[in-house]
Each structure stands twice: as C-alpha cells, then as structure tokens.
Amino acid sequence: MSLGRTSLEVSSLESGHDSRSTTTPNFNPTDFQSGARSADVSDSSSFSGFQLPKFEVFETSDKSKQPEKVDLEKFENKAFDAYMDALGKTSENGYGEKFTVLMFTRDNCGFCARNKEQLAKEGAKYADKAVFSVSDPTKDQGGKQLFDAIEGKAYPITVVLATSDRTIRVAGQAVGELDADQMNKFLSDSMKKPMVAYRNEDSVKTSDAMV
C-alpha cells in the first residue's frame, strides 16, 4: 500500500506566522509499499535521488522567552541572601553586576499583596538586571537591617538598590501601592543608569581622593 500523500506541510504557530511552506521530497511513494526492504543508512546508493525536505524555521520572539512572572518565593524573607546574590563577584570598587529590588511588606496588608503581584508581573521584564526579594522585616533579620538602613516607615515600600559591598546605594524608592504602569515606570527609571555607571562613578571618586 502506498502513502496517500507525499507532500509535507510545515507551519509555525509559535512565531505568530500563519504562512505555510509545502515541500515535496523527490521520491516515488511506490518505493514505500508494504513489505519493501528498509533502506540501509550506511548504503549511500540506497538514497540515490532522495532529498530531505527543507524545513522553514521561525525564531520565537524575545517576548515569548521572557518569564511571565518573577519568582518572588526564591528569596522571600531572605533579603540579605538576595542582596548577596546580586552582589556576586564584585568588581574592584565593590559593585555587583545586578540591582537588588526589595519590597517590604507585612501580613494582613491588602495593599502589600496587590503590590507584590504587580512586582512579580512587571519585574519579569527586568529579570536579567536585578535580583528580587519580598521581605517582612518582622520575620527577616536581614530584611530588617536593610529596612532600617533606608529608614523605612510605611508598607508597602519598594526599593531598588545599586548593589554594593561598601554602602547602601538607593537607586529608586516608592512608598505605597503601585499599579502596573506605575510599577513598570518605577523599575525602568530606577535601573535607567546601568550598574557599570555606579562602578565608574565610585572609581573616579576613589581616584580623586587619592590625589
């Protein structure tokens, strides 16, 4: 029995394209009748006149590769661990490669719960630039030290720190609940100046002090 169809239809839904390409391999379907001998891969003569179908590959967009939400549970009530993770291997003047984004919260705080959700969603766009943590200072000793260092007074409060092993450098701070647009703008503005700029600034200050 021969194959009823010799053409191969290839389409990519993930790429958002509806276009289809139809490729017809150059072979005779009667060669594939029931009981026919399987071609030996090692025997190149068995593939004489046979051409593999060409597949059109569509690359997925960068947006589809981005996570839908930041994993806030990884460093939940582990603000110091998040800070150290962002610090990584520091450069000569003590700054890490990533920002540290901390949201300080308390139990039974509706504003905090909603703000946490917005941080998880909007923070996904900046997952390659920062390490995120949600901390309740009453449950997290490291979080309490950082909360006191920025002189936190209310909840929720979201802070972006230019991670350094020398000083607590605040790049941005927002008190209260933020909606999606506000959260996105806050994170974008706070990380507009890259970490390398902070390193260079301190490098210049150190050189000036030595003169």
DSSP secondary structure letters along 158-184: EEEEEEESS---EEEEEES---HHHHH
What global pTM score does this model have? 0.66
Distance between CA 195 and CA 15 in Å, rounded? 33
Domain span holding position 152 = 68-210
Tell whether the model's pLDDT for residue 38 goes beyond 60. Answer: no
What digits encode the pLDDT tens for the residues 73-119? 999 999 999 999 999 887 657 889 899 999 999 999 999 999 999 99
Domain containing residue 116: CATH number: 3.40.30.10
Do residue 99 and residue 179 come from a single domain?
yes
Structural domains of the chain, count: 2
Do residue 200 and residue 116 come from a single domain?
yes
Do residue 43 and residue 10 come from a single domain?
yes
Mark which of 65, 97, 112 sits at the end of a domain.
65
Do residue 104 and residue 187 come from a single domain?
yes
Residue 159 β-bridge partners: 102, 173
Distance between CA 80 and CA 180 in Å, rounded? 26
Mark which of 65, 83, 104 sits at the end of a domain.
65
Contact 130, 86 (CB under 8 A): yes
Do residue 172 and residue 77 come from a single domain?
yes
pLDDT of residue 54: 52
